[in-house]
A = this chain, B = another copy of it.
Amino acid sequence: MTYRAAVLGASGYTGAELVRLIATHPEIEIAGLSADRKAGMAMGQVFPHLRHLDLPDLVKIEDLSFEGVDLVFCALPHATSQAVIAELPDDVRVVDLSADFRLRDPEAYERWYGKPHSAPELQKEAVYGLTEFYRDEIKGARLVAGTGCNAATGQYALVPLIREAVIGLDDIIIDLKTGVSGAGRSLKEGLLHAELSEGAHAYSAGGTHRHLGEFDQEFSRIAGREVRVQFTPHLIPANRGILGTIYVSGDAAAVHGALSAAYAGEEFVVVLPFGELPSTRHVRGSNYCHLGVVDDRIPGRATVVVALDNLTKGSSGQALQNANVMLGCEEGTGLRLAPVFP
């Protein structure tokens, strides 16, 4: 059976990545593509790397027909998804890649995003989109909220450790090194090649990055008490990839054991042998997440290092994995592309 999917916001990097992945998915076909400023253009003009594909032209959302569409991937900018999704036909499943439905608490949403949520009833319904942790809920969901790419990175390292109570909850530090595509195709001086290449800097430091809202929500829920982590993202001169270095107190062997057990049956999360550490270059362009653990010369301290591709496992691959679960396709369909190295 072939499912028909529309991609809203197809002129951004996550939209293009969805199309790239769906291109070799045997059970999903692209039924429509929307873009706002680039409506009227062919996808191959906006993204020449997709020019060999037979795709519908970009149109405005209002010109898109949802007749016969089984699933919508909504890759619109934050705060614009809410209204659009509220208007979609009831029988269309939705995977939202924006931040609009990640936080279940309307107050938390308003605090982190600076305005009240316009579709609070949908907010309640949305399932948080980390397949490995919410698989059962995603199966029956109509609306799945794709996670922040940084938020996904930290959670793959920490959720099993908090759940199994093998680490302290009051001194968790998440230091991320992220590629630039996470910032999207937006015209900002700081994203120019001449500004970014051959350099590195921290941004949104000091507990101000919005993905902290997701960490707070998920870690506190699992721990059964409030958990607040320290989190500093850094921009490095690479296009894809997030490397997370996570400092925890706890026994390193127990940490490694908890991760190994948690992901034993998971195809896309790979725990390396104790002492080996991952690299972003080894997951590039793929849906795989690599995790490594080392102990420290300081007793009772462990370091977890996690690597994933922000556009794939951190965003569009994650979205497709959820779509597979929602539609009843085998979960890894279309997602087994090996990483591209070098």
**Chain A contacts to B: CB under 8 angstroms:** 13, 16, 19-20, 23-24, 47-53, 171, 173, 175, 177, 179-181, 185, 187-189, 191-203, 205-208, 212, 228, 230, 232, 234, 236-241, 243, 245, 247, 267, 270, 272, 275, 277-286, 288, 290, 294-298, 301, 303, 305, 307, 311, 336-342
| Complex CA distance for A336 and B280, rounded to whole angstroms | 24
B238 and A288 within 8 A (CB):
no
Query: Given A51-B270, A243-B201, A285-B340: A187 and B185 within 8 A (CB)?
Result: no
A342 and B173 within 8 A (CB):
no
B194 and A239 within 8 A (CB):
yes
| A interface majority secondary structure | loop
A281 and B340 within 8 A (CB):
no
A24 and B336 within 8 A (CB):
yes
**Contact partners of A336 in chain B: CB under 8 A:** 23-24
**Contact partners of A47 in chain B: CB under 8 A:** 341
A175 and B245 within 8 A (CB):
yes
B185 and A228 within 8 A (CB):
no
A336 CB, min distance to chain B CBs, angstroms: 6
A290 CB, min distance to chain B CBs, angstroms: 8
B198 and A281 within 8 A (CB):
yes
**Contact partners of A296 in chain B: CB under 8 A:** 206-207, 230
**Contact partners of A208 in chain B: CB under 8 A:** 297
Instruction: Write the chain B residue with the least CB distance to A191.
Output: B192
A245 and B270 within 8 A (CB):
no
Q: Which of B171, B192, B285, B303 contacts A192 (CB 8 A)?
A: B192
**Contact partners of A51 in chain B: CB under 8 A:** 270, 272, 282, 290
A316 CB, min distance to chain B CBs, angstroms: 12
A205 and B283 within 8 A (CB):
no
A194 and B173 within 8 A (CB):
no
A239 and B197 within 8 A (CB):
yes
A200 and B241 within 8 A (CB):
yes
**Contact partners of A173 in chain B: CB under 8 A:** 173, 247
Most buried by B among A181, A191, A247, A340: A340
| Complex CA distance for A50 and B284, rounded to whole angstroms | 11
